[in-house]
Each structure stands twice: as structure tokens, then as C-alpha cells.
Structure 1
Amino acid sequence: MTKAVPGLALQLASKWSSPENRRREGLRAAHAQDAGTLIDLTTTYMRLKSSRKGRTSELTLKAYAESIRQFLQFTGPPESPSRALNQLTAEDFEVWLLTMQEAGLKPNTVKRHLYGARNLMKALVWANVLKADPSAGVSPPSDPTPAHAKKRALTQTQIRELLALPAELHAGDGLRASRDALLLVLGGTLGLRAAEIVGLDVGDVDLTGGSLTVRGKGGKTRVVPLPAGVKALLGRWLVARRAVTVDGGNPALLVSLSGVNYGGRLSTDGARFIAHTYYRHLGLPPEMWGLHTLRRTAGTHLYRATRDLHVVADLLGHASVTTSAIYAKMDVDVRREAVEAMERLRAGEE
């Protein structure tokens, strides 16, 4: 989910409001390799000028900010950079990509870092610090491993065991057990993205109609039907949630139960930490600890239950069934059944 950035209008009315200001501030930041200001410029550029504009998610902006910091480390310290930002060439970016690959970074991570640095270059062009983007013709490394082969989903047995863990591990803390079970189900059964899960409000829940309104990627909204089990979990959590002190009538469905943010909206990092705890207890390898593992699991099992990519795309909020096709490839049983059916067919013909 994408939310409005507090103070963005005020920010645009000052530092980046005019071409003269942008050029002056951009030149100063580029010369000093001022990471904070360069990230600020890039964020403003993406909010105003990128294809997604104001719908760019906070997670994307956070990831690209880290990529810019990584790139500035490569170009050298601010006081004596080995590569000045106004003198970069395509070859500099190619060397950076090679350096990251040699350091063992995965192709997708290298690709994300390149895109983050590329948005910095575009922002500097927008500020009239650069005449052109020197990274424009540079391509990220390809990944020889198919997506379905490296992104694993939980088995039916594993997801059942995972969903049972909150009650087992927090037998004396019904509030926490209820919230955590709901978090895991929202991802593992309904297939919500991480940002969609933490972005849910109480008002998005319609227990009478048995549906959940989800504000998804790109500002798109979809209504997801609630199966009986999820509906029951939601009902229990809404009752348990009343025991949490929420300042200012926080509308968030899932709230933090620890630290200074107690009663406030659960953050994406907080949701990941909760999921990681249960993954660890389940004995899953670290490469499967992401919240997206739950979404992949839901997608794979939805396809197995329906054999209909259009239904999967609709429920998960995919713009195209092509995106959903990976779940068909991830289901090993589907492929096994296909070759066994072919074998039976041939035996019958013979």
C-alpha cells in the first residue's frame, strides 16, 4: 500500500521547487557526495516524474535509498571520490555490477542496486546536474535459474504446522497468538503482500458480507472473499484487539504488541520479524524466511485447488495471468500428474 508522504508538498515548495534550486542543491550534493540530499532528490524525482509517481511504495523508496548508499560507497569517499558523479561513464556502472557479482550478490540484488543508482542519475538529469544518464545503456546480469526453481513455497503439511505455531508458542498470551495467527493466514491463505497486510484497517473487514478490502500495488483495490477459517480468526482478533490501547483511535487492523510502538500500526519490518520467528521454529532454511514465502504458498495452493490462473490472478491482485503462471510451475505435483496422465494415455492407446 502507498500512503501520502507527510510534508512532501512543503518540501517541493522549497528545496526542489524551481529549476534553479534543484540545480544549485543538486550540484552541491553531487560534489560532496551527500548521500542524504541525493536520496532526498531521488525520492522527490520518483514521486513526481517516475512512471508510478505518487504511487511508488515506501518499500521501493527504502530499497533504492540503500542502493544509492551502496553506489556512493563504490564511487569513493566524499572527500576524495575515485569516480566523480558528474564524470561517470557506462563502464563505471559495468565495473560496479561486476564488483557486486564477484562479492557474491545474487542477480536480483545486483539488478535492484542498478535500478536504484539509475534513478539517482535520472534525478540528477532532472536537476540539470547531468546532461544524460550514463547508466542508460547498462543491463543488469541475467539470472540463469528460473524463478520457479529458486522461489519455494511451503507444502500443505508445512503451512498447517506453521499456522498452528502461534497457539502452541503463545499458549499464555491469547492476544499475541491471535494476532500472529491472523498475520500468517493473511499471507499464507489469502496471499496478501507484506505492505497489504500491514496496510489493512479495521474498516476494511466486512464480517457480515465475508470479505476483505485490500489496497494493493499501484493503488489498485480488490475485494477478497473470506473463507470460514479466516473469518473466524478475524472475528477473534477484532475482539482481542480491544484490549490494546491505541492512541488517537488508530484504525490499523494489525498492531504492535511491543516496544514504544505498542498499540500502533504494525510495521513491515515488525511483520517480517514475527514471521521469521515461526519459520525458525518450523526449521525452514533462512532463504525461505521472507513474508513473500506466504504469498507464494497461497498462490501455489490456489492454483492446485482451482487449476485456473485467472482466478489466482484475480485473488492475488496480479495485473496479468502471466505473473500468476509461476505458481503453476512451482507446483511439482501438477507436473507429476501431467506426465503420469500422459503415460496412462499412451498405455491405453497401445
Structure 2
Amino acid sequence: MALQLASKWSNAENRRREGLRAAHAQDADTLTDLLTTYMRLKSSRKGRTSELTLKAYAESVRQFLAFTGPPESPSRALNQLSAEDFEVWLLHMQEAGLKPNTIKRHLYGARNLMKALVWANVLKADPSAGVSPPSDPTPAHAKKRALTQAQMRDLLALPAELHAEDGVQASRDTLLLALGGTLGLRAAEIVGLDVTDVDLSGAALTVRGKGSKTRVVPLPTGVKTRLQRWLLARQAVNPASPALLVSLSSLNRGGRLSTDGARFIAHAYYRHLGLPPEMWGLHTLRRTAGTHLYRATRDLHVVADLLGHASVTTSAIYAKMDVDVRREAVEAMERLRAGEE
């Protein structure tokens, strides 16, 4: 990053020259580089912006450039865009069947590119500033489903069943699923764990979460046992690696497991369990943990603390996702009403 700043974006004159060239040529790689530099230096999160966010915004930039036309003859020049151009793009994505959240993400990625071009003095103002993404009529708790207790038990049993001859893979995969589905860790938190983050004697796990915030998560007996098994099994793979979860693929054996690798592993078990594709994300495990934690405690403050939420408002979705909680509420109301009668 320091080398990029020193050569290409180090001062206003360089930024404008390189930005103008990239905008004129519709140079996706350079524009993405400018966007990344802007996000890390000038956005509200600055250096805490996650690699996943940057990767998603890079894809959004490419999607937007595809909409504006080929570099040699774009139908919409980047220095002549209007709010209407962005509104047409949103409509184009809606007609292509993209979901509202995906459209919103693409808009935010393109919008941050516009802000980066303003920073580079290529544009005077952000033409997308007044454009809003389409609203999603489906409540978040209705479209983001969690696994039932029975499904989660079946999921945790699958690695041992499917890899009975490979105890190393079975041990690693079971731990990965438990870290997400029992402790509620995010994908980046799971793969970012180091062996030194594990405190077996204190039954605790140090987790580095969003915004460089660190929290200590207690280890229930089941997860602690799975950790002990994996720590023993990983000795046969790469005991020198600092990473807790390592790759078992031939190309990266012993290296830190990537988020894409973790998703690929989880997807295989989701498919085998017969879950619909919309539930194949790793975040399904975190939603499952949040829902089950709320059901066990009925305390949003505990859920927020364990999952690393800044506010209980974020955790409130897990109360809405628990169908049994709502059923118990109306049944309790009915019993009260019967007593009054």
C-alpha cells in the first residue's frame, strides 16, 4: 500500500493525472486501485475497511463499467455521468433479477468510486449522491433463515460421517462449523484465528472482530473438545503455522484457510444436508448461533456481547427469527385471556 501511495496517488497532481487517464480509458484495475486507496485513507472506516468489502466493491466497479460500455466506445463517459445514469443502472439490475441487497451493494461500490474520483479532482461532485437503492419489501428476519436445532446437530455430525477415513479433515471441518454455528463467529473471524487465541485452561477464545475490536468468547464443553481434537490433528499438517484452521488442499496445504475455502467447505455440507442454495452462506451459521442463543437466554444483551454487536438493536433480528418465541408469546396471551374470562 505504501508503494502505491508513493508512486501513483501520493499527491494531488499525480492523483488527477492518473485518475483522468484511468477514467478516460475505463481502466478497471487502476480505478479499483484508486477506490481501494480512497477507502483506506478517506472513508469513515479508513484502514479498518475489510478485504471482503474491498473485494465486493471491486466487483461492483467492474459491473458498473460494463454498464457504461466498452472502454473503446463507452455509451456513458465517467466524467459526464448524471443521477439519471445511475437510476437507469439500478433499473437495469432490477430487470436482470438481482436482489435489492445486491443492487444496494453495487450502488455503494460505484458511489465510492465516484467519491474517489472527486478526491482525485477528476469530478467536481458525486453524480450518484442523490440516488437511492430500491427498498426491499421482505423483512430481514423473513429472508434470512437459521438452521433448526436438529439441522445443526445433523450438520455437526456430517464431517465424521462423510470423512470417516480422514480424521484430520473431519476434525477441522467439524470445528469450523461449530465456530460459526455455536459461537457465532463471522467468516473473517473464523479464518483469522491463531493457535495462540485458544486458551483451553481458561476455556476461552480471543476473537478479533469488526473494526479491530477484540472480544473473549467462552468455550462450551462441546466446542472445547472439538478444539482439542483439532489441535492434536493439525500437528500432522503444519504445526509451525500460526493459523488455527489450515488448508488441506494440495495447492495450499498447511497455509491459513481462506474465507473462500471456508465457504466452499460449508457449502459441501449444506448441499449434503439438502439445504436450499439461499442458505449456503457461512453467515447462516452465525444467524443460527444468534437465534439459538436468544432462545436459550431471552437476553439480547448477552447475544450482542457474545456475537460482538455494537448494539442490541442489531441482535434484535434473532428474536424475530425465532418462530417458537412468537408462538409462545401468542399462546401465553391466549392463556391470560382465558384466565380473565
Under TM normalisation by the shorter chain, which class is it? over 0.9
Distance 2:337 2:55 in 1: 55
Matched, 1:346 2:337: yes
The match for 1:288 among 279, 287, 299 is: 279
Q: Which residue pairs with 1:106 in the alignment?
A: 99
The aligned residue for residue 78 of structure 1 is 71
Q: Which residue of 1 aligns with 2:318?
A: 327
2:311 aligned with 1:301: no
1:157-306 matched pairs, under 5 angstroms: 157-245=150-238, 249-306=240-297
**Displacement, 1:171?**
0.3
TM-score relative to the length of structure 1: 0.97
Structure 1 residue corresponding to 2:43, chosen from 40, 50, 59: 50
> Match of 1:151?
144
Offset of residue 259 of structure 1: 2.4
In the TM superposition, what is the alpha-carbon distance from 1:59 to its structure 2 partner? 0.3
- Residues 54-109 of structure 1: CA distance to partner in whole angstroms, max 9, x if unpaired? 00000000000000000000000000000000000000000000000010000000
Alignment TM-score, normalising by the size of structure 2: 0.99
- Amino acid in the other structure paired with 2:194: D
Partner residue in 2 for 1:3:
none
Deviating 4+ runs (over 4 angstroms): none
Cα deviations by residue, 1:226-281 (Å, 9 ceiling, x for unpaired)? 000000100110011100036xx321100000121110000000000000000001
CA distance in 2, matches of 1:224, 1:279: 26
Number of the residue aligned with 1:87: 80
CA distance in 1, matches of 2:20, 2:290: 47
Unaligned runs of 5+ in 1: 1-7
Q: How far is the alpha carbon of 1:14 from its aligned partner?
A: 1.1
Amino acid in the other structure paired with 1:310: H
Query: In structure 2, what residue type is equivalent to 1:263?
Result: G
Structure 2 partner of 1:317: 308
Where structure 2 has 5 or more consecutive residues not aligned to the other structure, the ranges are none
Aligned length: 341
In the alignment, the residues of structure 1 paired with residue 307 and residue 287 of structure 2 have an alpha-carbon distance, to the nearest angstrom, of 10
Q: C-alpha separation between the residues in 2 aligned to 1:136 and 1:55? A: 24
1:128 match = 121
Deviation at 1:10, TM superposition (A): 1.6
- In structure 1, the partner of 2:60 is 67
Question: Aligned equivalents of 1:98 and 1:269: distance in 2?
Answer: 30
SS in 1 for 2:251: helix
What SS class does the counterpart of residue 153 from structure 1 fall into? coil
User: How far apart are the structure 2 equivalents of 1:259 and 1:90?
Assistant: 49
Q: Give the secondary-structure state (helix, strand or coil) at the position aligned to 1:13.
A: helix
Matched residue SS, 1:213: strand
- 1:5-57 CA-partner distances (Å, limit 9, x unpaired): xxx11211111001010000000000000000000000000000000000000
- Partner Cα separation in structure 1 for residue 217 and residue 256 of structure 2: 21
**Identity value in percent:** 89
* C-alpha distance in structure 1 between counterparts of 2:250 and 2:162, whole Å: 20
For residues 344 and 260 of structure 1, the distance between their equivalents in structure 2, rounded to whole angstroms, comes to 61
2-side partners of 1:42 and 1:258: how far apart? 33
Which amino acid is the alignment partner of residue 203 of structure 2? Answer: G
Matched to 1:217, the amino acid is K
3-state SS of paired residue (2:281): coil
Structure 2: how far apart are the matches of 1:344 and 1:139? Answer: 46
Query: Which digits, 9 at most, give the CA deviation of each residue in 1:145-192, with x for residues without a partner?
Result: 000000000001000000000000000000000000000000000000
Matching residue's letter, 1:75: T
How far off is 1:305 after superposition? 0.1
Letter paired with 2:283: H
